[in-house]
């Protein structure tokens, strides 16, 4: 672990060094101060030094309402700010219209590179086409933007591996016997990742569903497709249409309540729950915890949000997937630096966005449970032990 931490630190220092080198080299750098100030509820200015006409790198994130994206914001501000790079982080607050306005604002400030995590992968194509037309290079961050050739690069975690790890965790921690009830939930249909996560989970869960080890409790669409090892995007779409959380805690909660109200006795007892991320996992777990006919639930998540880490320590959420936002932010900043330097950024894979193959840089994920939470999240310096209670 120590070795890993060291290489991570070195990688971060290297990136910061790179950025500093470039920033001093040519572009007119106004300020890298990280003095974040809220301009309004949708906008966080991460420090353009008050010189609103000179921002080199613009960052657009989907919402402040999910802790996941505040983690990313913090990393961007640290890396870019420390390096004296002019930048601005704007939040779209769940609205593609706000997202487009944010992109236009950043274009008007003269950005050369746009790092954007789309609210809606298809709808964002209009915004990035505007950026491209203004000579701005576009890096899709975490979520792919689809149906356009105006995406230059994609920086992402291995989302298939996320879903596969969630599914495998359920298999490894399932009660013995057959017909174990399995509740399926998914992310937003507007997010390409939701499809990849589900595809990954399905790749390992499907054989267990097909052979009767697991019994789907809440999706007739998934039940109808249970004998298909590989699903088309359209087929995944029909399942997501039924069990989507929209990435929204309240939607997740009311869906779980409706499912448990409708559930017959044979899908109660000891159950498995595929929850797509931490926020929805906590909502769904709270509902399952209060149903007197649920004797035990095993539930997945992802993002290692602080509240979910506490849930894991407390035994209320079973696992999460750690997606180290330090690496993702550092990778996209390194790409931005290469672009500003006129160099071709290094990539290691590609993702088809229904129009082109987008060159991508992919980051591995780590499964976190009660057993390794300290090693993965505290020893690695991601969180402080003092931020949690009951940590051994
Ligand atoms: C996904 C992202 C996840 C999760 C989710 C909800 O695109 O990869 O980490 O946060 O969105 O915002």
* pLDDT at 231 exceeding the cut of 50: yes
Nearest to 8 by CA among 373, 327, 322: 327
Q: What is the pLDDT of residue 43?
A: 34
Q: Distance between CA 159 and CA 362 in Å, rounded?
A: 9
The owner of tokens 């992109």 is: 103
Q: What is the distance in A from the centroid of ligand 1 to the CA of 107? A: 25
Ordered DSSP codes for 325-366: HHHHHHHHHHHHHHHHTTPPPP--EEEE-SSSEEEEEEE--E
* pLDDT at 20 exceeding the cut of 80: no
Q: Distance between CA 364 and CA 157 in Å, rounded?
A: 6
* pLDDT at 29 exceeding the cut of 90: no
* pLDDT at 376 exceeding the cut of 90: yes
* pLDDT at 383 exceeding the cut of 70: yes
Residue 106, C-beta contacts closer than 8 angstroms, at least 6 positions apart: 55, 58, 60, 88, 90, 114
User: What digits encode the pLDDT tens for the residues 39-86?
Assistant: 222 333 443 333 445 788 999 999 999 999 999 999 998 898 777 778
Evaluated on CA atoms 255, 256, 261, 265, the torsion sign reads positive
Between 55 and 330, name the one with better pLDDT. Answer: 330
Q: What is the DSSP letter of 369?
A: -
Tokens describing residue 262: 């409708």
User: What digits encode the pLDDT tens for the residues 236-250?
Assistant: 999 999 999 999 999
**Residue whose CA is closest, atom 1 of ligand 1?**
193
Nearest to 102 by CA among 132, 140, 148, 61: 61
- Burial letters 59-94, b for 16+ CB under 10 A, else e: bbbbbbebebbbbbbbbbbbbbbebbbbbbbbbbbb
Q: Which residues line ligand 1 (CB under 6 A)?
A: 66, 68, 142-143, 187, 191, 193, 247, 277, 302-303, 323
Q: What is the DSSP letter of 4?
A: H
Given the CA of residue 197, which atom of ligand 1 is nearest to it?
8
Q: Distance between CA 330 and CA 271 in Å, rounded?
A: 39
Rg (alpha carbons) of the chain, rounded to whole number: 21
Q: What is the distance in A from the centroid of ligand 1 to the CA of 193? A: 7
Q: What is the distance in A from the centroid of ligand 1 to the CA of 52? A: 30
Question: Please, where are the H alpha helices in the chain?
Answer: 2-25, 67-82, 96-108, 124-133, 159-172, 192-210, 220-224, 233-243, 249-262, 278-289, 306-313, 325-340, 373
Given the CA of residue 277, which atom of ligand 1 is nearest to it?
4
Nearest to 158 by CA among 287, 315, 324, 37: 324
Tokens describing residue 189: 């249909």
**Residue whose CA is closest, atom 12 of ligand 1?**
247
Q: What is the pLDDT of residue 64?
A: 96
Mean pLDDT of the chain: 88
**Predicted TM-score (pTM) of this structure:** 0.88
Tokens describing residue 221: 């669409």
Q: What is the pLDDT of residue 52?
A: 45
């Amino acid at each position: 672990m120590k070795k890993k931490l060291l290489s991570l630190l070195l990688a971060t220092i290297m990136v910061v060094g790179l950025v500093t080198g470039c920033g001093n080299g040519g572009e007119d750098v106004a300020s890298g101060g990280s003095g974040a100030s809220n301009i309004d509820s949708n906008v966080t200015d991460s420090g353009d030094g008050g010189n609103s006409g000179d921002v080199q790198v613009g960052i657009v994130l989907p919402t402040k309402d999910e802790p996941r994206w505040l983690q990313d914001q913090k990393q961007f501000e640290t890396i870019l700010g420390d390096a004296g790079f002019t930048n601005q982080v704007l939040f779209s607050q769940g609205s593609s219209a706000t997202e487009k306005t944010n992109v236009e604002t950043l274009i008007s400030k003269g950005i050369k590179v746009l790092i954007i995590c789309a609210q809606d992968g298809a709808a964002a194509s209009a915004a990035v086409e505007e950026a491209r037309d203004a000579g701005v290079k576009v890096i899709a961050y975490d979520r792919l933007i689809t149906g356009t050739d105006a995406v230059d690069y994609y920086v992402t975690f291995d989302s298939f591996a996320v879903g596969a790890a969630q599914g495998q965790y359920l298999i490894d921690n399932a009660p013995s016997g057959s017909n174990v009830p399995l509740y399926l939930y998914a992310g937003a249909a507007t997010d390409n990742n939701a499809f990849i996560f589900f595809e990954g989970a399905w790749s390992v869960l499907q054989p267990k569903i097909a052979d009767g080890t697991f019994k789907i409790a809440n999706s007739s669409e998934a039940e109808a497709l249970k004998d298909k090892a590989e699903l088309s995007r359209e087929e995944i779409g029909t399942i997501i249409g039924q069990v989507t959380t929209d990435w929204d805690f309240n939607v997740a909660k009311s869906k779980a309540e409706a499912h448990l109200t409708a559930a017959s006795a044979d899908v109660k007892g000891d159950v498995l729950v595929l929850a797509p991320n931490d926020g929805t996992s906590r909502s769904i777990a709270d509902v399952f915890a209060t149903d007197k006919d649920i004797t035990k639930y095993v539930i997945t998540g992802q993002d290692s949000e602080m509240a979910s880490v506490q849930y894991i320590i407390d035994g209320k959420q079973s696992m999460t997937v750690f997606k180290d936002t330090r690496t993702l932010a550092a990778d996209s900043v390194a790409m931005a630096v290469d672009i500003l330097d006129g160099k071709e950024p290094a990539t290691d894979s590609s993702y088809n966005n229904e129009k082109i193959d987008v060159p991508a840089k992919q980051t591995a994920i780590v499964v976190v449970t009660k057993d390794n939470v300290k090693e993965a999240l505290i020893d690695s310096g991601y969180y402080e032990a003092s931020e949690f209670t009951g940590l051994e």
